[in-house]
Structure formats: structure tokens, C-alpha cells
Amino acid sequence: MFSNKDEFKKAFLKRLETLCGKRFEESTPRDQYNTLGNMVREYISKNWIQTNEQNRARKQKQVYYLSIEFLLGRLLGSNLLNLGIRDVVEEGLRDLGICLEDIEECEADAGLGNGGLGRLAACFLDSLASLDLPGHGCGIRYKHGLFDQKIVDGYQVELPEQWLRHGNVWEIRKEELAVEVNFWGKVEISQQNGRLTFRHVDSEKVMAVPYDMPIIGYHTKTVNTLRLWSAEPAKTFPVHKDVMQYKRETEAISEFLYPDDTHEEGKILRLKQQYFLVAASIGSIVRAHRRQHGHLYELHKYVAIHVNDTHPALAIPELMRILLDEEGMSWEDAWHITTNTISYTNHTTLSEALEKWPIHIFQPLLPRIYMIVEEINERFCRDLWNYYPGDWKRIEEMAIIAHGLVKMAHLAIVGSHSVNGVAKLHTEILKKREMRLFYEFEPQKFNNKTNGVTHRRWLLKANPELSALITDTIGGRWIKEPQALIELKPYASDSVFQQALAKVKQQRKAKLAKLIYEKTGIVVNESSIFDVQVKRLHAYKRQLLNVLHIMYLYNRLKEDAIFSIYPRTFIFGAKASPGYYYAKRIIKLIHSIAEKVNKDKQTNEQLKVIFLENYRVSLAEEIFPAADVSEQISTASKEASGTGNMKFMMNGAITLGTLDGANVEILEAVGEENMFLFGLTADEVLSYYENGGYRSHEYYHHDKRIKQVVDQLINGFFPDAHDHFEPIYDSLLAQNDEYFVLRDFAAYVEAQEKVEQVYQERERWLKMSAINIAHSGYFASDRTVQEYANEIWDIHPVK
């Protein structure tokens, strides 16, 4: 039905009538979207079934990627593209007077993630399927994804997100595969044949019902599965509880995604979510394995389970529980299988994000799991004692349970065979600092896997204009083999290529300018430099540094009659966690400076500040292709990797950044002459933290530019904000500027001046842009996933 456009049209019209019960003429874009979605799902069903059957028949090792977040975005466009039917569909629809892009707009983003970690999981799924690797995602089917952001008078307001309001054409509910999950209750211990047995009794049962979504590889028959679990009341209701209360509490488990991506609050619902994900996923993995092999003694030879950050680390005691209590294995056998099955990725070194659960929350909710964690801890501490006799301090610091807390990172390291960071610098910091003691004890576990992003979504789909130019220039091999993008390098200095590149960028800037106008009513100069910072709002990401620089430019333009700048449009997109008040004030600050700058006739020809509301995957796909400058300005050592940096680079933007996260590797790839670097290095930052010596006051007093902008936070310069920016002012001075904003200010201004100068040397800029694209293949998630497959999971393509 997709082999030519006429066949497609016929099938589409027929399907629309049967599905929607109306004639095409009466149909809405949503009807059309649903029709197309259903057709695509049907189209892939044969390959989906075949992939599953093949996996079963061949008994090949498979990986299950457990993640509390999957930030998928929209699926129609990427599915059509991966299936190779986008053009046929687009042409067919055009004949019917329908614009495919309009239909795509009907799809809600699946926003089941906060940011980097969740989007990485989605990129990995795309790469797994595209590389024909047997790998599946396991997550939670949150009824509400990350909140929708509205801006009212410059302040962020959160609204509940409603992605399932109109249904989800991509999912299939599989009630018959539900798994029972047990909370609360107590453990009964008895002796049987000289062996202790454990029974979890009086528990509260929750049904985990799977919803499967197909993950379609690019131009291949592989269709993997993302299994999202939904929490529903069990058939038998608990006797001692009000029925309605039980129902409410059960459904609450998969109701909301937690909107924080750093502050661990120790909320019981969050722990319930984590165990729910783990128990359901492991339950179904083990059931499938038992059906095939009859026992679990060789589980690690056929199954790899990856825990994405510590959120699913309960997979370790849960697998132990099944092997011990259900299979009756010895501790040693169970531990061997568990540690050889599980691997773990760390995504942050920020101490406030490291998960620690109070025992008084953990133990009553998961009594048997807690016992197992205690046993793991005791055996681990005994091993440590043998290795480091008498070294109490070290053992105390490494213990899994200490001072009333269960430390999830320690559990994850001890219970897995591989621990990896997400960029070289990050992994080195883990080994030398954050996880030093563990590295000293078991160095062989530690390894690096530098992040990547799927170039199919972030280049091929998001930027068809640039993709066409690349294919015209070097052929289409880069789509299957992104590292072939390097073949663009010889064209970087070619003036014909440069002109074409400039044209493509201009097209996308015009498109974004149109979107900005529609969303904000603000007209931006399409030939200005589009300078973009889009990411979650966090103090360490230093959106504040960007804003202070804008304030400085504004001040100069107002005060210095002969000062002028090349026109610049500063574009922001960022959600702040609802309870992160400092971050919310930065959002207000961006709006206050935008208000001033955009309304001031004296400056607004040269300077514009735009905040795009509700930053999310689908909006990001419009932003990256239009960017000239990629702001990656975190305090060095704080950003584990960053992945936005890679998406910008792929789309020909040039990085203005610190030596942090994967920026370091972008530098290695493109060279200093193709980036704008500034600021403290990670070593310098860490040495300040260790030895002191930084006094932000000195920078405030000695640099007039700094004093002026910092004072403006509180001196009435922003009349509408009243005293709202006082906490920002205090963070910079009274609290000695934890993130070195003032320390890096002068270097940042200088780097920005360089950006402006180089941008005007058109050929030089375009060459830099082309070189960035050429080297971006390394940052495709295909490379990353291949490394995980070879070095951690030991899985191989199914052909």
C-alpha cells in the first residue's frame, strides 16, 4: 500500500472511512493523522512479529535498557523516514490537498523525560533498531509527561501535560502479559530442608500492564519494542484498605513523571515508581527466559540488563530475589548471574542528584528487597575488610547502607559488571574523584562511553535541506554510516559548497524567524547571528552568564555612542523544575532583559532576545537547524556530557563553550580553530573547590562591566521585577558565586567578540561550520551504541 502514491492514496481514503466513519471531505487533520498512524502500524506489524519470533528462535543475547525516562518526541515523521516511505506518503497526501507537516503537528510529543538522560534513551532505541541489534526499552507509561510550560508576565507556570488525551496510535496494550508487583507487607522466614526460605506476605499488589510500542530501524526489517508499564489495581483488592484509596494510590504510580532532574527529595512515590519499573521489567524478562530455557542458570549468557542511572538500580536486588527465593539458587550462583547481567551508566556527578533512600522509607515499602540489599552490603563490607583490613573510614565511605541511608550509586557499582561515564572528562572525574574508592577496588569495571545522538532525527529528519546538500555532495552513505560525514571535509573550503551551506542555513533561519513571530509577535532580523541556548534551566548550566553578557551589550549600546555590534538574536528555551525557585527567577530575568532590549528603539535593530516557551523535542527540531552559535557554557566539570552540543554541531552551528563534558571531545575532533573556547578548566574549578581562593567580590569590584550588570539586578533597572532578582544578586556575591559566573565573565565577553568578528568573515565562518558537520559523525548514537554492544552487552546484529 506504500509502493506508489496512487496505491497509498486509495488505501488511505479507504482506511480513513472505516476508521473515522466519515468521508474524506469531512475529516479533520487529526482523523488524517490517526489514519496514517494506523496504516503505518499495520505496515510494520509483520516485521515486528518477525523480529520477536527471530529473537526467540535464535536464542540470541538481547539487551533490555531500563530507564525511568524515554523522551521520544513525535514518532510519525521518524517512522515514515525510517521505513523509507516518507516521500510516497508526502506526495500522495499532497495530491489530496493535505500537507504532511500539518498532519505531523497533530501528534503530541511523547515527553516522558526531563532532558538529556531521557532523550539519550530515545536516541539509543533508534540506533539499536537501525543497527539490527536485539535491544528493547523498558519504561513507565506516565499518564502525564513533563509539564507544559506557559509564560505569564515573564514567569513560568506549569500545566499538566496530556499526551494521551487523543489516544496513542503507536501503542498496543497487552493485558495478558501483566506482571504483579508487591509493596508493603512483611517477610516470613522458615526452614525447609535445612535451608532458609523467605515469603513476602500481606503485601499490597499492583498490576503492571505493558503497552508495547514498535521501534523501527532505518531501512531494515528490525522492529524492536519499547515496553511501557502502566499501574492498575490488581484483581484482588487488599482487605484492610479503602477500595477507592487503593485505586488512587495504585494509579498514582504511573500518573506523573517527576519533573526534577537534580534534587532528590526522598519521596515515597518516586521509590514506588522505581521498584514498579524494575519488578515489572525483570518479571517479564525472566518469564520469557524461563519459557525458552526452563531455568535461569545461564541468564547472563542470553540477557543483558542496563540500568540508565541509578533510578532502576533496584534491578540488582530484584533479580537476586527471583534467583534466590523463586529459583532456590545459592547466594553465590545468584550473585554471579546478577552481576554478570547488569551494567550501569552514571549521568551526573552533582552531589544533590545522587540518590540516597532513607531506610525508614525503603524498608517498610520493600521489605524483602531491603533484606537483600542488607545482605549485599554486609558481604561487600566483609570483602572490603579483607582487602583493606582496619581501614574503617574507607569501608564506611564505600558502604551501600550507612547513616540511615541506602546509597543507590554504591549499590549500582557493586552489583554490576560495568560502570560507565558519558564523556571522557566525566569518566575521568568519576575515576579520580567521585567514585575513586570504587575505582581503586575494582578498576576493571570502569569505562567510558561518550554519548551520541541519532543523526536520523537530528539531521536527516529535522534538517532535510542540509541533508539534501550533504547527499548531493558526498552521496547518501552517511545516513547508514554517519562517520562518512567526514567526506565533507574537502568541501569545507569549496566556495560553491559554502554558498549552498549558507543558503540552507538562511532558509532555516527564516523558518525559525517565522515561528518566533507566530509564537511571540516579535520580528527578528533573519540576517542577525542566531545565538542559541536551549536546555534545562540550571545554575550550573549558567544561562545567567549569557544574560549578564546581554545586559552588558545593552549597557554599552546605550552609553557608548560609537559602540555598535553585528546584529544578534539571542534565543533561549528552558524549563525550570517547579520547585527550583532560583531557576525560575533566571527565567524571569531573561524575560525582563528581553522586554527592555526588544522594546528599545535605540538597540532593537542590533539586539533581540527571544524566549521560546515550552521547549521540547518537536520545538528543538526547529531550533537546531537554524542556529549559528551553540551556547555550551556550563561551569567546567559539571556537565557530564551534554547532547545538545552534538545536535548543534551536526547542523553546522559553532560551539561557544567551556572545556566541559563532550565539548572536550568536540574540540579534539574539530580543533581549536573551529570552536570558541573560554573559561576555567575542570581542573581549575575543582582546585578552587578544594583549596578555596576564589572571591567573587574581587571580580565585582575590579571589573566595571561586572559591577554595573550585577548592580542592575537590584537597583531598579528592572522595575517590573521589584526585588525578585535579589537571590540572584546574593548568589553572585554573598554566596561567593558557586558556579564562577563572574570569574568567567571577561573571558566570555572576549569569546563573544571573537564570534562576532569571525561571523563577518563569511568564508571562514562557513568553513568552520562545514568542518563541524564533517566531524559530527563521531557523535552519532550509532557509534555509542555499537561500543556498548561490543564492550558491555556483548550483543550482535540479527540479520
- Judge whether 588 counts as a catalytic residue: no
Contact stretch for ligand 26V (CB under 6 A) within 142-150, 237-245, 582-590, 636-644: 636-644
Backbone angles phi and psi of 460, in degrees to 5 = -60, -45
State how far the Cα of 89 lies from the Cα of 79, in Å rounded to an integer.
12
Please give the C-alpha separations between residue 328 and each of 189, 322, 333, 591, in angstroms, as whole numbers: 14, 8, 10, 62
> Out of 65, 258, 694, 779, which residue is the one contacting ligand 26V (CB under 6 A)?
258
> Out of 641, 658, 752, 781, which residue is the one contacting ligand 26V (CB under 6 A)?
641
Annotated catalytic residue within 144, 449, 455, 536: 536
- Judge whether 558 counts as a catalytic residue: no
Helix (H, G, I), strand (E, B) or coil at 140: strand
CB of 6 to ligand 26V, least distance (A): 45
Binding mask 305-344 for ligand 26V (x = CB under 6 A): ----x-----------------------------------
State how far the Cα of 736 lies from the Cα of 590, in Å rounded to an integer.
22
> Out of 640, 653, 685, 706, which residue is the one contacting ligand 26V (CB under 6 A)?
640
CB atoms within 10 A of CB 796: 14
* Residue, CB closest to ligand 26V: 116
> Out of 37, 77, 92, 115, which residue is the one contacting ligand 26V (CB under 6 A)?
115
Residue count, binding to ligand 26V (CB under 6 A) = 22
Please give the C-alpha separations between residue 489 and each of 106, 166, 494, 627, in angstroms, as whole numbers: 39, 46, 10, 20
State how far the Cα of 332 lies from the Cα of 340, in Å rounded to an integer.
12
Contact stretch for ligand 26V (CB under 6 A) within 209-217, 257-265, 402-410, 723-731: 257-265
Please give the C-alpha separations between residue 45 and each of 303, 543, 640, in angstroms, as whole numbers: 24, 45, 38
State how far the Cα of 315 lies from the Cα of 306, in Å rounded to an integer.
9
By the 10 Å C-beta count (0-12 exposed, 13-18 middle, 19+ buried), 472 is classed as exposed
- Judge whether 235 counts as a catalytic residue: no
- Judge whether 643 counts as a catalytic residue: yes
Is residue 120 involved in binding ligand 26V (CB under 6 A)?
yes
Contact stretch for ligand 26V (CB under 6 A) within 95-103, 223-231, 261-269, 779-787: 261-269
Annotated catalytic residue within 119, 410, 535, 575: 535
Is residue 746 involved in binding ligand 26V (CB under 6 A)?
no
CB atoms within 10 A of CB 681: 16
Please give the C-alpha separations between residue 789 and each of 62, 96, 481, in angstroms, as whole numbers: 10, 44, 17
Contact stretch for ligand 26V (CB under 6 A) within 7-15, 113-121, 284-292, 742-750: 113-121
CA nearest to 609, candidates 544, 541, 550, 557: 550
State how far the Cα of 372 lies from the Cα of 324, in Å rounded to an integer.
10
Hey, which residues between 409 and 428 contact ligand 26V (CB under 6 A)? 422
Annotated catalytic residue within 647, 767, 775, 783: 647
Is residue 27 involved in binding ligand 26V (CB under 6 A)?
no
Is residue 377 involved in binding ligand 26V (CB under 6 A)?
no
Is residue 260 involved in binding ligand 26V (CB under 6 A)?
yes
CB of 645 to ligand 26V, least distance (A): 9
CA nearest to 560, candidates 609, 603, 598, 607: 603
Based on CB atoms, which residue is closest to ligand 26V, 212 or 309?
309
Length of the chain as a residue count = 799
Annotated catalytic residue within 136, 347, 509, 588: 347
State how far the Cα of 654 lies from the Cα of 632, in Å rounded to an integer.
10
Contact stretch for ligand 26V (CB under 6 A) within 37-45, 92-100, 116-124, 132-140: 116-124
Please give the C-alpha separations between residue 302 and each of 2, 45, 382, 760, in angstroms, as whole numbers: 36, 25, 31, 57
Is residue 37 involved in binding ligand 26V (CB under 6 A)?
no
What is the SS3 string spanning 288-354? Answer: HHHHHHCCCCCHHHHEEEEEECCCCCCHHHHHHHHHHHHCCCCHHHHHHHHHHHEEEECCCCCHHHC
Is residue 632 involved in binding ligand 26V (CB under 6 A)?
no
- Cell numbers placing 469: 546538500
State how far the Cα of 215 lies from the Cα of 389, in Å rounded to an integer.
51
CB of 155 to ligand 26V, least distance (A): 23
Based on CB atoms, which residue is closest to ligand 26V, 347 or 575?
347
Q: Is the dihedral of CA 420, 423, 427, 433 positive or negative?
A: negative
CB of 426 to ligand 26V, least distance (A): 8
Is residue 348 involved in binding ligand 26V (CB under 6 A)?
yes
- Judge whether 41 counts as a catalytic residue: no
Is residue 203 involved in binding ligand 26V (CB under 6 A)?
no
- Judge whether 519 counts as a catalytic residue: no
Q: Cα–chain-centroid distance for residue 598?
A: 32
CB of 739 to ligand 26V, least distance (A): 14
Is residue 642 involved in binding ligand 26V (CB under 6 A)?
yes
Q: Is the dihedral of CA 286, 287, 288, 290 positive or negative?
A: positive
Contact stretch for ligand 26V (CB under 6 A) within 285-293, 465-473, 604-612, 639-647: 639-647
Based on CB atoms, which residue is closest to ligand 26V, 72 or 422?
422
Is residue 128 involved in binding ligand 26V (CB under 6 A)?
no
Is residue 618 involved in binding ligand 26V (CB under 6 A)?
no
Q: Cα–chain-centroid distance for residue 543?
A: 19
CB of 641 to ligand 26V, least distance (A): 4
CB of 495 to ligand 26V, least distance (A): 36
Rounded to a whole number of angstroms, the distance between the first and last alpha carbons of the chain is 25
Query: Helix crossing, 704-712 with 741-760: angle to 10°?
Result: 110
Is residue 353 involved in binding ligand 26V (CB under 6 A)?
yes
Contact stretch for ligand 26V (CB under 6 A) within 58-66, 439-447, 635-643, 696-704: 635-643
Catalytic residues: 347, 535-536, 541, 643, 647
Binding-site ranges for ligand 26V (CB under 6 A): 114-117, 120, 258, 260-261, 263-264, 309, 347-348, 353, 422, 451, 639-643, 661
